Amino acid sequence: MRHPRFCDDLVHQSRRHWRCANGAGGIDSAGSGDTLLLVPGTFKGPGNSAIDFKGKAITVTSSAGAEATIIDAELAANGFVFQSGEGTGSVVSGLTIQNGKGNTGGNIKCEDSSPMIAGCVLREGRGESAYGGAGIQCRGTANPVVRNNIFADNFAPLGAGIACYGGASPAWMKYLKK
């Protein structure tokens, strides 16, 4: 069975919004200010872990909310990686991100980048090193905006939900721990 992959079959819905059905490359195709709207489903397999915004100010979100749209990294790597100086114009919202794993961070890794992470469920992530951060790990100059997320069943030696070090300081705006 072929699983839907992260965003390549793009259907142009308006000047700045794209609807993503499956495939890889949506982020590569997107330009600054674009929104990649994921259809409901579980996105796993090749291309659906270590998803890198590559410095782009884009939004990746769900057409039906976090309960219906899941990015499953299958413990192969981080779910999302922000490492190219992204700012708050780089947004992940309304998704469940699960089974991310890494020595630095689990579901989301922010290194010297400050994206916005809003309305997501971050669950079952694994932070493998002593620095932890199974849900979200922030390091260096990372100052992500973390708003209205649910952290559930993450595991790490330190900071199972979120871990910050090396000067990182996220802006918290309400979160729920399950």
Q: Which of 17-31, 84-98, 105-119, 135-149 has the lowest mean pLDDT?
A: 17-31
Phi, psi (5° rounding) for residue 128? -85, -25
Domain boundaries, the chain: 49-177
Whether 67 shows a pLDDT value over 70: the answer reads yes
Best CA proximity match to 50, nearest among 19, 71, 34: 71
d(CA 95, CA 71): 7
* Long-range Cβ contacts of 54-57 (<8 Å, 24+ apart): 54/27, 54/28, 54/84, 55/84, 55/85, 55/86, 56/27, 56/30, 56/31, 56/32, 56/86, 56/90, 57/32, 57/33, 57/86, 57/87, 57/89, 57/90
Best CA proximity match to 97, nearest among 58, 137, 131: 137
Render pLDDT for 89-132 as a digit per residue (tens, 0 to 9). Answer: 999 999 999 999 998 889 999 999 999 999 999 999 999 887 78
d(CA 86, CA 144): 9
Model pLDDT, residue 19: 54
* Tokens coding 117: 């992470």
Render pLDDT for 35-53 as a digit per residue (tens, 0 to 9). Answer: 888 888 898 888 889 999 9
Record the pTM.
0.87
